[in-house]
Structure 1
Amino acid sequence: MASRLRGKRSTRPAQTVLLAGLLLAGTALAPMASATPSPVYKNPHASVSARVNDLLKRMSLDDKIGQMVQAERGAATPEQAAAMKLGSILSGGGSVPASNTPTGWADMVDAYEKAALSTPLGIPTIYGVDAVHGHNNVYGATIFPHNIGLGAAGDPQLVERIGRATAEEVASTGPQWDFSPCLCVARDDRWGRTYESFGESPRNAVENSSVITGLQGNELGAKKGSVLATAKHYIGDGGTTAGVDQGNTQISEQELRKTHLPPFKEAIKRGVGSVMISFSSFQGVRMHAQQYLITDVLKKELGFSGLVISDYNAINQIDGQDGFTHEEVRASVNAGIDMFMVPWDAPQFITFLHDEVAAGTVKMSRIDDANKRILGEKFKLGLFEHPYADRSLQKTFGSKDHRDLARQAVRESQVLLKNDGVLPLDKKNDKIFVAGKNANDMGNQSGGWTLTWQGQSGPVIPGTTILDGIKSKAGKGSTVTYDRAGDGIDPSYEVAVAVVGETPYAEGQGDRPSGFGLDAEDLATIAKLKATGVPLVVLTVSGRPLVLTDQLPQINALVASWLPGSEGAGVADVLFGDYNPTGKLSVSWPASAAQEPVNVGDGKKPLYPYGYGLKYERGGHH
């Protein structure tokens, strides 16, 4: 604690004592040393630019290059990170402390912070995580619907509140940087990241960039629990040919600007502190080497003053070979990337960048610009004053309020696509049969980026499955019977609910070049239920619209439930009519996989058009 005080002393002892007392109530003050004024960069009342410039003058080239590097926690202990002067640490998907709890996280992040603060200049580190639908790496966090569901909800204020709740849960465990939101505009549902997109129109991402304000607050660092947000992936990741992840976006610059740039403009307007560059290429050149798009368009034309970060190991791909070379380091630094996510190769990157500066191929002005941007965000966040986890926020971690908010998001995201009168379900005296692989599976309904990068099936997180929700809603005289395969159903049931769809995936492992219909198990379940003549409700739990044109005639009601996350009861709220569906498609629902890409305004006729979504008629029932 004493080290935190040392830098705060000024020539105005009364104010210092007051300040220190506010910041460190109950901590004894170290005796006053000499009257030497503390450095400007340690003065919380100085302007951000004055603090940045003062600190920059005191930094060696080693200090500056270190600030530009982000390593994975699994590759550098706190002591090693401090020795390399690293500017940032991250946890990739599934990279967690031994105790995957808020306290375990806070202890881990604080250890990195303490080591960073013990270096001569005491520059705090910034710790990054992919909290893309809640603080999804941490057990017990509130898991919100993935973006495709939030896009269908069409409620930017709700999305802002989700950002705020996520920021609180993240900040309470130590990290100060969230690699979110994904502002991609998914133009081809074969893409494995379709669920990370708010929709196929730029408008969906523009409106829901409200999440940035939720994460950061109106001003970065002004509010307790503010975390640095990241607009990603710049630019065109949702527009690759055939929806290939990390593929080639082969469109004109005019089309790139019209479809993929607007969300980034809006993010900058909202003060987003960081932008992550895309793995994908534009017109055959990897985005990580695109100086025109990063420096000229993003930084100069759009006036982005925050920091630009690379994606995970992404500079390695510039030349198409494994690992990175001097040329790739030079190209990406000169393109305008400020911080480098080189999870396992920090020492090599540091060596290579030193070589490039020594050779004069990377100018000191570029190194200084990168540092100004990185340090600027650290100062705005208040990291120099409050480097450690705010554990007081842990009382809201996975709290009822946050789970209620998630349940509301689930309700609003349900899209009713077909209904011949079977919905809403009766609460009383109803006999309901529930089947399907996604009816009672927390992992499946949460999707990828849940505890691990790819996610997984099974009871992986606490929460409510869709089946739990249906059971809790069924009232007096009603029975709910569940069998995953649909075995045991007979004509005495009044309704059958089949919850089908996808199992978890993330990024390229979710690419579906040969189509995305229901799998054999889903088709068998639907056939078994339908054979009894019982009215059939089908819910799709998936990260994209699924091709089910052939099955549609057998289905009495169809609901797109997307990937609802931990609060499956929100689905049941809609099924039983406690919430009249309001969700509207933010993606065109293809009639066949061959129709892809199919988007609003392209003249193709999807099964269900963009913006489609039914409500229950007044009175609701049959």
Structure 2
Amino acid sequence: MSAISGAAQHYRVRRTPALIAVGALAVTTLFTLPQTTRATTAEQPVVRAGSVTFVDDGDTAAVTLTVEAADGAALAAPVSVGWSTGSGTATADADYAAASGTVEFPAGTPSGTQRTFQIATRASDAGETAETVPVTLRSRDAEVSGRPAVVVRAHGLPYLDPRLSTKKRVADLLGRMTLAEKVGQMTQAERANVTSDPAAIAELGLGSVLSGGGSTPAENTPEAWADAIDGFQTQALSTRLQIPLVYGVDSVHGHGNLFGATILPHNIGLGATRDPALVTRAERMVATETRATGIPWTFAPCVCVVRDDRWGRTYESFGEHPALASVLGAAAVAGFQGRDLESNRSVLATAKHFVGDGDTTFGTGEGDYTIDQGITEQSRRHVEKVDLPPYVATLKAGVGSVMPSFSSIDWTDDGLGNPVKMHANRELVTGWLKQKQGFDGFVISDWQGIHQIPPVAADSPTTAQIVTSVNAGIDMFMEPSQFERFHTRLVAAVQDGQVSERRIDDAVSRILTAKFELGLFEEPYADRSHADEIGSAQHRSIAREAVAKSQVLLKNSRRALPLDDRDSIYVAGRNADDLGNQAGGWTGTWQGFSGDVTPGTTILEGIEAAADDVTFSEDASAPTDGADVGVVVVGETPYAEGFGDVGGPEWAWDPADGGVPREEKSMSLQPGDAEVVEKVCSEIRTCVVLVVSGRPQVLTEQLGSIDALVASWLPGTEGAGVADVLFGDRRFTGKLPVSWPRSADDPVVNVGDRDYDPLFPFGWGLTTGKGHHGDQRLTLQDAVLDPADGVPPAASRAIATSEVALLEGRTGVARGILNAALPR
């Protein structure tokens, strides 16, 4: 019986989790877990223990043994296994009935047969933390693998009572924790490293595990993901306080690590939709697919305001104006988190990268990056107007976590030239975010983000880096491989007085609050009930709609679009039939790769489904005779982060390939792409060019020969959405989320600039079919429908500024701007 009526802890497990065998005792853990088992030999069978067996106070535990014979044959001789309870944190007679016995597997027993033996526990009226009963196995007839243990669940303690408020539960749990346990909650390790060393989760009491880009179970299926995460969770629940892990992943445009997941357009494409309701629906779908694999936390959305498209993360931004990033960032948070974080369709969201990562100065990048992880050299007023508003919006939307940027801030107001890494920036992380804005979630570092705090050292994270970042306000630390070093050094720093235990308590309280709100204390294991929706037709239809609405029609001479499905269509270009190229980075792996990265529909396949007469020649070497329309699909190949910086490194490391040479990044078309455009557009009367890329590609020289030009961004797996607008099944409605530059030599152009003269302005986007009644924006664009050299400066400024006014809800102002710009 529990001390608090009805407060006994019961884990509702819908499916038996993957369990890992147990080993020796540790200070704050019930036991550690062995890392290897010997293989079955032809001479001797193997008996495998059933690992951790959880049991409620007073119930009887059934421990499972499995016999495995060589080559899967039946046992040639009988196998006898003796067992006995040992000495653990549970007390014999008081907590359980000491016992011993023998389990028999007669000759002829099929390989894989299971037998159980039972251990009775004693009921207690007092509340207790979890306790363990180790079990010893012995056999002369078989090799014994693993050392099982029975864990009597924690019970009767206030923090286990779901009827209490989260605040009371957190306070009770925090008061029971040791310093080492608290620091464990602040520590996050990478999946691969705890897979090879599973004991670390229990030994250190880790609070979190993540999967980096491309970090997947050996079998990349929803079930394998859930099994692996449940296995990690079992180890976390083997500690005395049974605090569950919170697992995180970068579901930045779908559950990109999972083969077969539905992949959305990257944020730059969603920015072109200007549709917050669609963004919410789309991210709700992503949350459902992510949580169905046992993951309750995503490192998304990215709400950076991109101000220089040479940045390799441009496609992670919703656009160049804070109003756009604010509206869609808040919509994304609503989709991820829903109204109830405990829902099996919800995940905790992360607003990132705080703050200014899209506003760094070219040439200040970290290492051989040209702009990524560089320095935001701006005034306080600029940062308040441009970079911070999306965080205000996402905080109002209730975002649960925030991730700092790798970049630095250097206030130009003081003229000192003293950049401060965001992971060390107490002024902004604690001062602005937590104190001024009242953020009550937790701050998670980026991947080894504190390692860049100067002075950088070979043995990072150093004590100095840890102390600086904790005191700056970072609460949880993404230490993929150096988690043990981090844990040891932070514990020592607190003991030495360099970090106050009050700061530690604040960080841990925030983390525990999120875990309670996610319902992980009641439901720690994967809820697989929506796994059959992953990659489903319904989910793909949402992505297809997003693709269609993200397409921006930049030019449409002689009504080249929509296409007639009766025409003979000649398709060319390397991005026409390549899922990897159209999905971009963070798909399958961190950097992404060309080819069949995951199931989906290429743009070519979408066109082929819409028209009967289609010829495809990637390099346009096939004859073009008889073609009515040429469709050329060009653009970029996949990249992520600094390796995507223009002028950045051409050799890019990725865990999936160990590092390979990659295509030089540029704001201009690659030479091969330009040649295909020139050939097709010179030989076929009507020429349509689609640009599949994470940022604008300068085509000013080719514009005169192109009849219709479409910015397709990085559409993801549903290429049929592109065909939907090409053939008029849906109207073009997308609007540019960034200004499209005239020249690669002068690529930085943003709405509001004094000398604003892009090729196509922010908010530009032609339509097909019937326009909206009274849409003055369309009326003005009709006046410059087919510009010889892009959109005239006066029209550009009017369209861009009116678009900003509309985003900010100033409809009357927008109407006045457009009225004044209309030709008389």
2:563 is matched with: 425
Q: In the alignment, which of 746, 756, 764 is matched to residue 612 of structure 1?
A: 764
Q: Is 1:558 paired with 2:704?
A: no
Q: Distance in 2 between matches of 1:440 and 1:613?
A: 25
Within a 5 Å distance, the mapping from 1:156-555 to structure 2 comes to 156-209=276-329, 210-221=331-342, 223-242=343-362, 244-283=371-410, 284-319=419-454, 321-322=456-457, 323-420=460-557, 421-428=559-566, 430-474=567-611, 478-513=612-647, 515-555=666-706
Q: Distance in 1 between matches of 2:57 and 2:531?
A: 30
CA contact (8 A) 1:435 1:486 kept: yes
Within a 5 Å distance, the mapping from 1:142-157 to structure 2 comes to 142-157=262-277
What is the SS of the residue equivalent to 2:248? strand
How far 1:325 sits from its partner (Å)? 1.5
Higher gyration radius (CA): 2
What is the SS of the residue equivalent to 2:631? strand
CA contact (8 A) 2:350 2:399 kept: yes
Q: Distance in 1 between matches of 2:318 and 2:450?
A: 27
Inter-CA distance 415–183: structure 2 relative to 1 (3 Å threshold): same
The code of the aligned residue for 1:102 comes to P
How far 1:217 sits from its partner (Å)? 1.0
Deviations 1:305-344 (A, max 9, x none): 0000110011010115243221111100000000000111
How far 1:488 sits from its partner (Å)? 1.7
Q: Using the aligned pairs only, state the percent identity.
A: 53
| Worse-matched range after superposition: 234-243 or 296-305 | 234-243
Q: Distance in 1 between matches of 2:645 and 2:14?
A: 51
How far 1:22 sits from its partner (Å)? 8.2
The code of the aligned residue for 2:761 comes to P
| Worse-matched range after superposition: 23-32 or 370-379 | 23-32
Q: In the alignment, which of 175, 191, 214 is matched to residue 73 of structure 1?
A: 191
CA contact (8 A) 1:180 1:232 kept: yes
Inter-CA distance 531–164: structure 2 relative to 1 (3 Å threshold): same
The code of the aligned residue for 1:501 comes to G
Deviations 1:121-178 (A, max 9, x none): 1000111100100000000000000000000001111111111111111111011110
Q: In the alignment, which of 53, 59, 76 is matched to residue 177 of structure 2?
A: 59
The code of the aligned residue for 1:569 comes to A
How far 1:411 sits from its partner (Å)? 0.4
How far 1:10 sits from its partner (Å)? 6.2
Q: Distance in 1 between matches of 2:217 and 2:15?
A: 30
How far 1:618 sits from its partner (Å)? 4.1
Q: Is 1:571 paired with 2:709?
A: no
Larger proportion of helix:
1
Q: Distance in 2 between matches of 1:184 and 1:295?
A: 19
How far 1:30 sits from its partner (Å)? 6.3
How far 1:57 sits from its partner (Å)? 0.8
Q: Distance in 2 between matches of 1:379 and 1:20?
A: 15
What is the SS of the residue equivalent to 1:594? coil
What is the SS of the residue equivalent to 2:202? helix
Q: Distance in 1 between matches of 2:345 and 2:202?
A: 25
| Worse-matched range after superposition: 439-448 or 31-40 | 31-40
How far 1:21 sits from its partner (Å)? 11
| Worse-matched range after superposition: 112-121 or 589-598 | 589-598
User: How many residue pairs are counted as aligned between the two chains?
Assistant: 604
How far 1:490 sits from its partner (Å)? 2.6
How far 1:433 sits from its partner (Å)? 0.2
Inter-CA distance 417–21: structure 2 relative to 1 (3 Å threshold): closer
| Worse-matched range after superposition: 149-158 or 592-601 | 592-601
Q: Distance in 1 between matches of 2:500 and 2:312?
A: 38
CA contact (8 A) 1:433 1:489 kept: no
Q: Distance in 2 between matches of 1:597 and 1:263?
A: 21
Q: Distance in 2 between matches of 1:148 and 1:399?
A: 24
Greater relative CO, 1 or 2 (CA 8 Å, sep 6+): 1
What is the SS of the residue equivalent to 1:266? helix
CA contact (8 A) 2:11 2:524 kept: no
Deviations 1:438-459 (A, max 9, x none): 0000000000000100000011
Q: Is 1:97 paired with 2:217?
A: yes
Q: Distance in 2 between matches of 1:570 and 1:525?
A: 23
CA contact (8 A) 1:11 1:35 kept: no
Q: Distance in 2 between matches of 1:372 and 1:427?
A: 60
Deviations 1:63-103 (A, max 9, x none): 00111010111122332211111110011001110110000
How far 1:28 sits from its partner (Å)? 10
Deviations 1:337-393 (A, max 9, x none): 000001110111112112211211100100000000000100110000000111111
The code of the aligned residue for 1:571 comes to V
Deviations 1:538-589 (A, max 9, x none): 0000000111111100101000000000000000000001101000001000
Q: Distance in 2 between matches of 1:30 and 1:285?
A: 52
Deviations 1:263-321 (A, max 9, x none): 11111111111000100000011111100100010000000000001100110101152
Q: Distance in 2 between matches of 1:94 and 1:472?
A: 31
How far 1:471 sits from its partner (Å)? 0.3
CA contact (8 A) 1:225 1:390 kept: no
How far 1:218 sits from its partner (Å)? 2.0
Q: Structure 1: where are the runs of 5+ without partners?
A: 1-5
Q: Distance in 2 between matches of 1:83 and 1:193?
A: 37
The code of the aligned residue for 1:567 comes to E
What is the SS of the residue equivalent to 1:512? coil
The code of the aligned residue for 1:426 comes to D
Deviations 1:173-192 (A, max 9, x none): 01111000000000000000
Q: Distance in 2 between matches of 1:63 and 1:617?
A: 62
The code of the aligned residue for 2:204 comes to M
How far 1:528 sits from its partner (Å)? 1.6
What is the SS of the residue equivalent to 1:407? helix
The alignment's C-alpha RMSD in Å is 1.9
1:3 is matched with: none
Q: In the alignment, which of 44, 52, 56 is matched to residue 162 of structure 2?
A: 44
Inter-CA distance 21–519: structure 2 relative to 1 (3 Å threshold): closer
Q: Distance in 2 between matches of 1:525 and 1:606?
A: 25
How far 1:31 sits from its partner (Å)? 4.2
CA contact (8 A) 2:12 2:523 kept: no
The code of the aligned residue for 1:600 comes to V
Q: Distance in 2 between matches of 1:562 and 1:74?
A: 32
The code of the aligned residue for 2:240 comes to P
1:592 is matched with: 743
Q: Distance in 2 between matches of 1:21 and 1:312?
A: 32
| Worse-matched range after superposition: 203-212 or 377-386 | 203-212
How far 1:596 sits from its partner (Å)? 2.8
Q: Structure 2: where are the runs of 5+ without partners?
A: 17-53, 60-122, 128-155, 363-369, 411-418, 648-664, 772-824
* TM-score (norm. length: structure 2): 0.71
Q: Distance in 2 between matches of 1:281 and 1:28?
A: 50
